Amino acid sequence: MAQRVSNDGLADRLGVLFPMDENLPCSEGTTLLRAFAEARPADFAFLKPGDLINLHNSAFAGILEWETFSEHYGSCELCHA
């Protein structure tokens, strides 16, 4: 098994971050979130459910992968089905 952020590990985190399934990001959003998790595992570990509501958390400002995800998540209709 790979030691980097595995799909299983991400799925566990997604279950914490998105306790209600309807808030789960779409497949593209999940891919973008995984890119953030893999690029910045320490930052990803600090991500809390509230950060998905207030997407402009200054702690993550300037992190390209986070901004790409949050821009998508904030505007994607599938992510908020």
Footprint of Zn ion on this chain (CB under 5 A)? 26, 29, 76, 78-79
CB of 67 to Zn ion, least distance (A): 15
Cα(57)–Cα(22) distance, integer angstroms: 22
| C-beta closer to Zn ion: residue 25 or 60 | 25
| C-beta closer to Zn ion: residue 1 or 77 | 77
| C-beta closer to Zn ion: residue 37 or 79 | 79
CB neighbour list of residue 78: distance below 8 Å, 6 or more residues apart = 26, 28, 29
CB of 30 to Zn ion, least distance (A): 8
CB atoms within 10 A of CB 27: 9
